[in-house]
Chains A and B, each alone.
Chain A
Amino acid sequence: MTVTWTIFRREFASFFVTPTAYIIAAGFMLFTGVFFSQEFQVAAVRRIPINPATIPSLVSYMLVFFAPLFTMRLFAEEKREGTVELLLTAPVSEASIVVAKFMAAWAYVTILLGITLVYQAILATYAPQDIGHTILAYIGIWLYSGTVISIGMMFSALTENQIVSAFSSLLTLLILYVGDGVGGIIGNIQLSEIMRSLSLEAHYSTSFAAGLFRAEDAAFYAGVIVIMLFLTMRILESNRWR
């Protein structure tokens, strides 16, 4: 546990010693900011309500593009620098390494999500907010972000090339994201239903974002995270076996 904490701290700190993480965060906040101010302007002028899940729902889309940017380096960089060899020869289990790195990336995204609370605060000063709905939407997007990170991390462990890692996770996430609306393309309702139940967005948009907590959606995200962490461990281990 101490060891996991040590790796977590190093990993988490590494986000903040390079300018990259700040620039990613700035880009992320710029996109959300532009979108939010547009929504706000329209709503304020026409005096119509703003859905509390507006910002979290936007984040769910943006994470598809932003998450690979900071998950790509998780393992790919260690492999490139050779530090993975030292980590794996230290008295540390693969589980500790994988969990610590995952938690560090998740903590980083949690901070990003925390910054977007600024927008919720602005909304609260202008109109009464449905606090329960807002909190649930944020819990949902938090679980969602964990899932996205776990997938990105898995791809990072597969390769030592950061670009390959980022691109393959972006592609996967995009497919998992649009799976929600794939019915528009394929038209077959049974197939669309299956695609939907596998897509990331479908477990968020109709429950967490609507203010309804569904146990199975939380289980879906937790399950994908567990599977991805397990796969990452195995991939990491396979470096030894090949």
Chain B
Amino acid sequence: MSALTHRRYSRNVLNRLIEEAPSESKSLTDDHRHSLSARFRGVASADHRRLDAWMVERAGQPMGAFRWSPTTAKRVVGNAALRRALHDPSLTRFDAVDIELTDQLLRVASGYARSGSLASYLAQASPSVLGLVSAEAANWTTQLGEAAEGIAAPWSVATSDAYYDVARARTTLRGRRDLIINRGLSRILLRVRAGAPGKSAGPGLRADLTIDALADATGLAATRVIGLWPEAGVVLSVDGTMEDLRSGARDLVRTAVAHQRQQLARAA
């Protein structure tokens, strides 16, 4: 039985959700990967397909072309700044944001940034736009830091999102994760989201759960995925059961189908 838990956010509630997570982790096997790959291969695509939880939540509806903006840059800069502040406690989170932005600009100056990357966007931005990126990132890192400070179990900021290339299906899956909470050998993922959770927030969390398990070399799934919506003061969680993993995989394939149909309709 797949279950979605919905709670009002407080430090105690978050800790309870972590403590009460299932103790046993489920694993995806090679058979699961082959089966998923076969299903994605069955959904033809002219271009390379990129799917994530947001597309699942929007049922594959087309989105506008991605563009960097202070809002889209805040998570990347904010998470990196929090990681930096944890490694060097003498830094405030705001100092860490400044250093992270400088670091991004240095990548461009030293020729390591490719066009279209965050670094190249920042290099072309005016000082006032950089200021706004800094303000957005500071909001993000403070929100994430405040949530993390209250967690009793050991935690770390995820070094990157989970990416999984589905074999021979021209499909890349991206699972977002902000904090990784360790409980013995198992792990719990926490994602911070903007706005308020919609009706499809549960499928979105399941998609993140499944992609994270696929991206793990051993296929080990997180025991729970927690979605935190600080603006709404709400937390939702999904357990890493086999049923939830299957449900996440099904939603991803359905999204690919819906996406393909919409592309065909647009081409017609």
* A and B together in one complex: no
Interface residues, chain B, CB within 8 Å of chain A?
A: none
